[in-house]
Structure 1
Amino acid sequence: MQSIINRQVFLILTALLKLGTSQSVSCTLRPAYPAPVLSNGWSGQLIYDDLDGPRGIVFDTSGNLLVVEQGEGIVHISLNDGGTTCLNVANKRDVIDNDSLNHGIALSVDGRTLYASSSDAVYSWAYDPATGTVSGANQTLVTGMQNGGHTTRTLMMSQKYPGMLVVSRGSDGNIDIAATTLEYGHSQIRAFNVSNLTSTSPPYDFTTQGRRLGWGLRNSVGIAEEPTSGGIYSVENSADNMRRNGVEIRENNPGEELNFHGSLNETAEGDNYGYPNCFALWNPEIPDVGTLTVGSQFALEQNSTVNDAFCNEERVAPRLTFQAHTAPLDIVFQPNGSEAYVSFHGSWNRDDPSGYTISSIPFSKGSPTAPANSSNSSRVIMANPENSRCPNACFRPVGLALDGAGRIFFTSDSTGELWVMAKTSGDTPTPSTTTSGTASPSATRENKGVRAVSIGLWMYGLIMVGLALVL
């Protein structure tokens, strides 16, 4: 009897030892450039820095990450999780080797179908989240999207209406006159019911099929479904090198946009949001501004057909407007709809670089809390200490994903990185220059919470040993 008890104690101690060892996570990776600054109430950590042009990102139902490497394909990343921001990569391997994939990625609601896009088409694969692998040949679901200029085709699978896949197609160049004509399909967002397709179905044609959620949208790279109302929001990258009435206004105009597109349960076709004739005003210091304010639509020239009055009366204005050239590339919502997070990829041709941040936008009852003419509707929660090294030697965020613990994961394409952020309190003011910008103290060594659990388990083991000896 005593030998049986001793063996049980031995097995318990062995299991405790393995558990304590497996939960010990080293999280000390640091960027090769000046570390980002985090807002008070947030902590952050660099998880991985050996990706090739990472763009879109999504969690599968097994809690692993799928990341699009632009011009490479899709990789599967499993994580060692020590809690809060203390994570590192346990394994990275290829899932799909396809150099035409460049940004878009989504999963079906059940997690069993993987979607990705090239500049011309949307594809699907049967996906097994248990093994992180695809099987069988891919199916082409949507095609007819080839154009120059903006080549990413963002994908979003609705959670409210499973099977409805939203696809965004940008413009052919900075100012694309073809976008004024519906039949070209440029600068549009459309939704397709992919659950209607069988393995032998022909693909949808983007320009003639699906439901149009909006057009006149220059390059709406980020798309998200507000979780409480089901409303579809997009973030749009506006035009560069603009002049109004012959005067250069490119530094601070036009503004980037947050646009609202209704819900997928509606049947009406979406309206025109202005591009390439009308743009959102960010800085009112432009010629002949009149009564225009932040978020007003304006025309580059005033004529009898297209002018400021036409833009504000006949085109859909943005719900919010952001600093020019900040380049928002993704948007995700907290599950309760209280906040949206936006990745601002950053400017490439502004004299004073702007963007290069992760920012939050407060929401309530399905809408932003800030008015449409607000100039401070978003709050920066992660930024570079200064942007003079950008775009090549600073973090440049692209894809966003939230896990079940509410942590924000994002990619940085210019640096080949994967990051994580977590709230440490409810307060999220703008970053302070006194903030170190590195991860929280618990993320610079073995996670304190994990250590406490391990100590507790060891104490439990010692108690069990004592009881066994007494018996």
Structure 2
Amino acid sequence: MCKDDSLNHGIALSQDGRTLYGSSTSNVYAWDYDASQGRNTSNARDIVQAMGDTEGHTTRTLLLSKKVPDLLLVSRGSQGNIDLETLDVTTGVSTIKAFNISNVTNSAYNHASDGLLLGWGLRNSVGVAEEPVSGGVYSVENSVDNLNRSGQTIHENNPGEEMNFHGYLNGTKSSNQGGNYGYPSCFAAWNVTQIPDFSGTTGTQFAIGDQNATVNDTFCQNDRIAPRITFAAHMAPLDIKFNPNGTASWVTMHGSWNREEPIGYKLVFVQFDGNGSPTASANSSTAAVDIVSNPDLSACPSNCFRPVGLAWDSQGRLFMSSDSTGEIYVVTKDDGTGVADVQQASSNRSSPSSTGSGSAPSSTAGGANRAVRKWSAGRGSYWVAGAAVVGALPLI
């Protein structure tokens, strides 16, 4: 085992537990791995290369498909807030691609020219997951900052963050697969009343800046793929994990950095139908139910937790990391058991007062009434609500 400061976000482990994958800004590597030792046992092998330099969004999320185990998904974001290079799909920027890791020989894949394209026009899809029942691939997207439309600044509540559907890896046909999702020209509406000269609904694509003959709302709605679910602007979704039975996805919202009123800083629950699709309509503004959140967003980002990564353990408990506080939390039911079987969630809590006190009404989850508990950890008192989640404890 050796230290490599170039490695950053992406990590994946083969189903047999013998191969570990990791990413730097420019490459994806593989190592032989020994789980009994908890370490790699070989030098790094290049799997994918030529993914750019250290500008812009530098994370390279990795996901190994369980439906098609030979395919490794790689998500690469843009090199800036508005990156015109992404207008050319051959650059490989702002894409999600899949690479057949069983075919790698002496030469690594070139990211831009090789691989199966699942989607492009994706500004920064840090969270990627495979729905376990249908095998559909979903991502969660960090949208653009400081957006202007028709000469007006509308970035406080637009555009929305996105949950996008990218088709399947097992050969099932989907019109979404390989399509363009809009960036850097088209974006999803969140607060439609604040978008000048716009008549669409939440989730509808609209054109950035001043509409013209080439880029306009009609083009965005007819030629670009709209998100399956839209979240509020600046929530910054960073990870998505599905229940094993496909009845829900859990999404971490890292939180805003340039919004007048902070937003996000929580874990949310999005209900699915168990057959591969969210239960909420594409124009819903209530699809995401708060599960774990900070009580006082005015303290964010410097004095609150900021969710990032999610992971399941063998008992169905959900682990959640916070980069701002250096903590890991475990999310469970009130009896300490896992939440992997939760099918419904309701967020029915009162807001705590500025002193951290407040009433905690009951909430319904999975058909059972469970009390919402207040818990304290790290830098302050937080609240857990809904989805049968009434306990979350810091591990470190």
TM-score of the pair, normalised by structure 2: 0.84
**CA 1:298–1:132: 2 relative to 1, 3 Å:** same
User: What's the CA shift string for 1:172-196, capped at 9, x where partnerless?
Assistant: 1100000001121110000001111
**CA 1:262–1:415: 2 relative to 1, 3 Å:** same
Displacement of 1:291 in angstroms is: 2.5
Which of 123, 137, 146 in structure 1 is aligned with 2:52?
Answer: 146
Which of 104, 120, 124 in structure 2 is aligned with 1:215?
Answer: 120
Question: Whole-Å Cα distance in 2 between the matches of residues 441 and 173 of structure 1?
Answer: 39
Asked whether 1:284 is paired with 2:189, we answer: no
Which of 65, 73, 95 in structure 2 is aligned with 1:166?
Answer: 73
User: What's the CA shift string for 1:187-230, capped at 9, x where partnerless?
Assistant: 000000111124xx211011000000000000000000000000
Q: Which residue of 2 aligns with 1:264?
A: 169
Q: Residue type matched to 1:429 in 2?
A: S
**CA 1:441–1:279: 2 relative to 1, 3 Å:** closer
Question: Whole-Å Cα distance in 1 between the matches of residues 294 and 391 of structure 2?
Answer: 21
Moved over 4 A (4+): 439-444
Displacement of 1:411 in angstroms is: 1.1
- Unpaired segments of 5 or more residues in structure 1? 1-94, 445-471
Q: Which residue of 2 aligns with 1:429?
A: 346
Contact 2:84–2:184 (CA under 8 A) maintained in structure 1: yes
**CA 1:443–1:270: 2 relative to 1, 3 Å:** closer
Question: Whole-Å Cα distance in 2 between the matches of residues 443 and 186 of structure 1?
Answer: 38
Q: Which residue of 1 aligns with 2:132?
A: 227
Displacement of 1:442 in angstroms is: 9.0
Question: Whole-Å Cα distance in 1 between the matches of residues 124 and 391 of structure 2?
Answer: 40
Q: Which residue of 1 aligns with 2:258?
A: 349
User: What's the CA shift string for 1:133-165, capped at 9, x where partnerless?
Assistant: 111111110011114100000000001111210
Q: Residue type matched to 1:274 in 2?
A: G
User: What's the CA shift string for 1:304-340, capped at 9, x where partnerless?
Assistant: 0100000000000000000000000000001000110
Displacement of 1:378 in angstroms is: 0.8
Q: Residue type matched to 1:111 in 2?
A: G
Q: Which residue of 1 aligns with 2:338?
A: none
Q: Which residue of 2 aligns with 1:17?
A: none
Displacement of 1:105 in angstroms is: 0.7
Displacement of 1:290 in angstroms is: 3.8
Question: Whole-Å Cα distance in 1 between the matches of residues 391 and 43 of structure 2?
Answer: 45
Q: Residue type matched to 1:423 in 2?
A: K
Question: Whole-Å Cα distance in 2 between the matches of residues 345 and 139 of structure 1?
Answer: 32
Q: Which residue of 1 aligns with 2:289?
A: 379
SS of the residue corresponding to residue 280 of structure 2 reads: coil
Give 1:50-449 correspondences, 5 Å limit: 96-147=2-53, 148-198=55-105, 201-266=106-171, 270-300=178-208, 301-364=210-273, 365-424=275-334, 428-430=345-347, 431-432=349-350, 433=352, 434=359, 435-438=373-376
Contact 2:310–2:321 (CA under 8 A) maintained in structure 1: yes
Question: Whole-Å Cα distance in 1 between the matches of residues 57 and 317 of structure 2?
Answer: 30
Displacement of 1:102 in angstroms is: 1.4
User: What's the CA shift string for 1:373-426, capped at 9, x where partnerless?
Assistant: 000101110001111111121110111001121111011111111111112386
More helix by percentage? 1
Contact 1:392–1:415 (CA under 8 A) maintained in structure 2: no
User: What's the CA shift string for 1:237-274, capped at 9, x where partnerless?
Assistant: 00001110010101000000000000012388601000
Contact 2:329–2:392 (CA under 8 A) maintained in structure 1: no
Q: How large is the Cα RMSD of the aligned pairs?
A: 1.9
TM-score of the pair, normalised by structure 1: 0.71
Q: How many residues align?
A: 348
Larger Cα-atom Rg: 1
Q: Which residue of 1 aligns with 2:363?
A: none
